[in-house]
Structure 1
Amino acid sequence: MENKKGKIPAVFFDRDGTLNVDTGYLHEQEKLQWMPGAREAVKYVNDRGYLAIVVTNQSGVARGMFGEEAVKELHGYMNEELAGVGAHIDAFYYCPHHPEAVVPEYRQECSCRKPKSGLIEQACRDFDIDMEKSLMVGDSPRDVTCGEGAGIRGVLYEGGSLLELLKQYI
């Protein structure tokens, strides 16, 4: 679904509480539980020519609960699971920082921690994204604020089928 300028629209997904059940600092594959219609929603996005991009705060890294490698491994596993329904996430962006981190190298105010829009802005630098047609979908007002701060429409997911929600916008 490229437009005349060659730009591609994207759906930015929050992770915990939007794509998967928020079990609190999820980093273990065996604890991954998909939200209703989440895998189908990603496939729907893929099939319509949109990029599917995850933007997620992962302060468990800053809190010393797990390392960045665990985040990356979980994201790889999520894509393995999505492949089972013919879907995929094009890119995962995460913020490991927190201003009160116990791990010193992650203790900082940053532009990538939602509700700030740094993760979306980085994705837009990495991909030629059509901002006007893109969406940020998340289960928290901070996700909506993040999208709007980057100049894209924010959509609040309040439960139910994620696929049915997306069909209202794409």
Structure 2
Amino acid sequence: MGNKAVFLDRDGVVNVDHAYVYKIEDFEFIDGVFEACKQFQACGYQIVIVTNQSGIGRGYYTEQDFDLLTKWMVEQFKQHEIEISKVYFCPHHPTKGIADYQQDCDCRKPKPGMLLQGIKELSLDARECIMFGDKGSDMLAATAAGFKKKILVKSGQSLTDEELSLADEVWNSLDCASEKFSENN
């Protein structure tokens, strides 16, 4: 794989956003996610997942719960011949976190900390990276990280006109990858 990557938000892009998903039985992949990721890989992109997980900071579940689910999720991708290069998560919340988790950190999107960490650790060129997210905060993080392209998908949240204006493209879901994504992205 080269020095470019597709960064995917998790809840609302990879899986149905049922709010604070941390159990395998509640994790539901969005249709087309495996096919899209195969296409990204075929075009030479690494795949990185970046996810705000304030449910950890709020005390709804633990980092260990998140790790178990993440290992399972990565294995599901592997079974579809898809390599997830890295999964980054932010457990913090600036106002609703408990104890050490209550902080205004650099990793919680819309701040670019997780994306910048991925660029550094995986030796990526930000100008060759693409962000897929379902919120304006995903688009703002990608802009701050200097990404080449920002794509909003409608498979998660309801989007405002302002959020839509932050994206370079808007897709219904990753299911559109076969018709909209090529090596030229």
TM-score by length of 2: 0.83
1:162 lines up with 2:149 in the alignment = no
SS in 2 for 1:124: helix
Q: Which amino acid aligns with 1:38?
A: V
Q: Which amino acid aligns with 1:108?
A: Q
Deviation at 1:84, TM superposition (A): 2.3
Q: Deviations over 1:66-85 (max 9, x none)?
A: 11111111111111111222
Separation of aligned partners in 2, 1:46 and 1:151: 21
Indicate conservation of the 8 Å contact 2:34/2:80, yes or no. yes
Indicate conservation of the 8 Å contact 1:44/1:163, yes or no. no
After TM superposition, the structure 1 = structure 2 runs for residues 62-81 of structure 1, keeping only pairs within 5 Å, are: 62-81=57-76
Deviation at 1:42, TM superposition (A): 1.7
Separation of aligned partners in 2, 1:167 and 1:69: 38
Separation of aligned partners in 2, 1:101 and 1:86: 38
Structure-2 change in CA distance of 1:165 and 1:46 (3 Å): closer
Indicate conservation of the 8 Å contact 2:37/2:82, yes or no. yes
1:11 lines up with 2:6 in the alignment = yes
Structure-2 change in CA distance of 1:149 and 1:26 (3 Å): same
Separation of aligned partners in 2, 1:20 and 1:34: 4
Q: Deviations over 1:144-166 (max 9, x none)?
A: 11111100021111134404247
Q: Which runs of 4+ in 1 moved over 3 A?
A: none
Q: Aligned Cα RMSD in Å?
A: 1.6
TM-score by length of 1: 0.90
| 2:119 aligned partner | 124
Indicate conservation of the 8 Å contact 2:5/2:47, yes or no. yes
**Pairing partner for 2:83 from 61, 64, 88:** 88
Separation of aligned partners in 2, 1:163 and 1:135: 16
- Greater shift, 14-23 or 139-148, is seen at 139-148
- Percent same amino acid at aligned positions? 35
Indicate conservation of the 8 Å contact 1:157/1:165, yes or no. no
Deviation at 1:36, TM superposition (A): 1.6
Q: How many pairs does the alignment contain?
A: 165
Indicate conservation of the 8 Å contact 2:109/2:138, yes or no. yes
Q: Which runs of 5+ in 2 are unaligned?
A: 156-171
Indicate conservation of the 8 Å contact 2:153/2:173, yes or no. no
Q: Which runs of 5+ in 1 are unaligned?
A: 3-7
SS in 2 for 1:39: helix
Deviation at 1:102, TM superposition (A): 4.4
Q: Deviations over 1:4-38 (max 9, x none)?
A: xxxx1000000000000001100001111011211
Separation of aligned partners in 2, 1:124 and 1:140: 21
